[in-house]
Structure 1
Amino acid sequence: MDLTGKVIILTGVSKGIGRATAEALLARGAVVAGWGRTAPDDLQHERFQFFECDVRSEVAVKEAYTNTARELGEEIHALINNAGLGIAGPVDGFSSDDWHLMFDTNVHGMFYCTKAVLPQMRKQQIGHIVNLSSIAGTTGIEKMAGYCATKFAVRGFSQSLFKEVRNDGIKVTCLYPGSVQTNFFDDIPGTDANEHMMQPEDIAATIVYALETPFNFHIVDIEMRPLQPKK
């Protein structure tokens, strides 16, 4: 799909992968509706518009979608479900509130946003939904059971969804990045972000690549890993 002039909703736009993806999409000519709790610093562009939205609230998602359609037009060509967070800890000492926070953001938020855009995409008979899972969505990680559980859920949702909507011309792609040098690791004990990890721009470029594939096929799953991880 040629991204020029296409309206793309991007959640979790304020920093990290979301911010890098917004810049990559703008560079390809897209119109970006950035959804998030806080606006990205210093991102000023005629084709970027920020809409305050906490994806944990279905009411907030519906409002952001209504505002996006009003401001940018009814046609929504892609949704990138990027908003997410990870909290580490052993299962028997883990906060139930933190468990719910991760599911509310990583899983329920993805569902609310997807549910919001699908009727219009079905009407258009074209669209693309990109979901950000993780390597943690393919294998268990010690003291990351809650995060892994959410990312396994993203994987199952994505693989089911693509079979459900493919005949309506809607593509679904799920990404499984390994370690990326972002603030994600600020709250993960024992791991520090470093230059040997992938960069947010690497993930952004891959998302753009998936979006620009010809109409007759789509990439279902993409696993990404650093080439030379820190020993």
Structure 2
Amino acid sequence: MDLTGKVAIVTGAGKGIGRATVEALLARGAAVAGWGRTAPEGLVHDRFQFFECDVRDEVAVAEAFTNTVRELGPEIHVLVNNAGLGIMGEVDGFKSKDWKAMFDTNVHGVFLCTRAVLPQMKRQHQGHIVNVASLAGTAGSAGMSGYCATKFAVRGFSDALFKEVRPAGIRVTCVMPGSVETHFNGNQPGATPDPHKMTPESVAAAMVHAIEAPDTTMISEIQLRPANVK
């Protein structure tokens, strides 16, 4: 898909992979709606609009979609479901509210945002949905059962969704990064990049690559790992 003049929605746009994806899409000529609880600090662009949205809230998602269409037009060409939450801990000490918060954000939020855009994408017979999962959605890790469960769910949802909407001309890509230098799980990226982690920009570039693939090609899954191992 040529992104020039297209409209994209990116959830969790405030920082990290979300912000990098917004900037990458803008650089390719798209108009971008950023959805999230916090706006990307200092990001000003004539093709960027931020709409406050908690993806866990069905009403908030519907309002963000209505506002996006009002400001950027009726056609929605790209949705990047990036908003996510990671809380780690062993199962027998895990708080049920934290478990629920992760599923509400990582799984239910993906469903709500996807459901919001699909009718218009079907009318257009064109669209691309990118779901950001994780390598934690391919193999379990001790102390990460809840997070792994949500990302396995996103991967399964993505696999079923692409088979469901492919006849309607809609492509679906599940992106599964490994370690990325972000604020994830309370981390603070250092002034010097960690050579053993990927950058948010590299993950965003992979998404753009999938979105810009020829119309005859759908990249259904992408696994990303740091090139340098410890």
TM-score bucket of the superposed structures, by smaller chain:
over 0.9
Cα distance, 1:128 vs. partner? 0.2
Partner of 2:116: 116
In 2, Cα distance between equivalents of 1:195 and 1:68: 38
CA distance in 1, matches of 2:56, 2:225: 29
Deviations 1:136-170 (A, max 9, x none): 00000110000000000000000000000000000
Question: Where does structure 1 lack aligned partners over 5 or more consecutive residues?
Answer: none
Q: Residues 135 and 178 of structure 1 are in contact (CA less than 8 Å); yes or no, is this contact kept in structure 2?
A: yes
Say if 1:181 and 1:195, in contact at 8 Å, map to a contact too: no
Helix, strand or coil for the counterpart of 1:63?
Answer: helix
Asked if the contact 1:14/1:39 (under 8 Å) is kept, the reply is yes
- C-alpha distance in structure 1 between counterparts of 2:194 and 2:139, whole Å: 22
Could you tell me which residue of structure 2 aligns to residue 12 of structure 1? 12
CA distance in 1, matches of 2:183, 2:16: 7
Matched position secondary structure for 2:85: coil
Task: Indicate the residue corresponding to 2:223 in structure 1.
Answer: 223
Return the offset for 1:187: 5.9
Q: Kindly report structure 1 stretches of 4+ aligned residues shifted beyond 2 Å.
A: 185-188
Question: What pairs with 1:1-231 in structure 2 (closer than 5 Å)?
Answer: 1-186=1-186, 194-229=194-229, 231=230
Structure 1, residues 79-117: CA drift from partner, whole Å, max 9, x if none?
Answer: 000000100000000010000000000000000000000
Equivalent position amino acid for 2:17 in 1? I
TM-score (structure 2 length as normaliser)? 0.96
CA distance, structure 1, for counterparts of residue 30 and residue 151 of structure 2: 28
With the length of structure 1 as denominator, give the TM-score of the two structures.
0.96
Task: Calculate percent identity across the aligned residue pairs.
Answer: 67
CA distance in 2, matches of 1:185, 1:94: 15
Structure 1 letter corresponding to 2:114 = T
The answer as to whether partners of 1:137 and 1:148 remain within 8 angstroms in 2 is yes
The alpha-carbon deviation at position 194 of structure 1 amounts to 2.9
> What CA RMSD, in Å, does the superposition of the two structures yield over aligned residues?
1.2
In the TM superposition, residue 217 of structure 1 has moved relative to its aligned partner by: 1.6
Conserved? CA contact 1:88–1:187, under 8 Å: no
Work out the CA distance in 2 between the residues paired with 1:116 and 1:55.
11
Unaligned runs of 5+ in 2: none
Displacement after TM superposition at 1:195 (Å): 3.3
SS in 2 for 1:56: coil
Distance 2:130 2:149 in 1: 19
**Judging changes above 3 Å, is the alpha-carbon distance between structure 1 residues 223 and 156 closer, same or farther for their aligned structure 2 residues?**
same
Does the residue aligned with 1:141 lie in a helix, a strand or coil?
A: coil
8 Å CA contact 1:87, 1:187 repeated in 2: no
Q: Which amino acid aligns with 2:205?
A: A
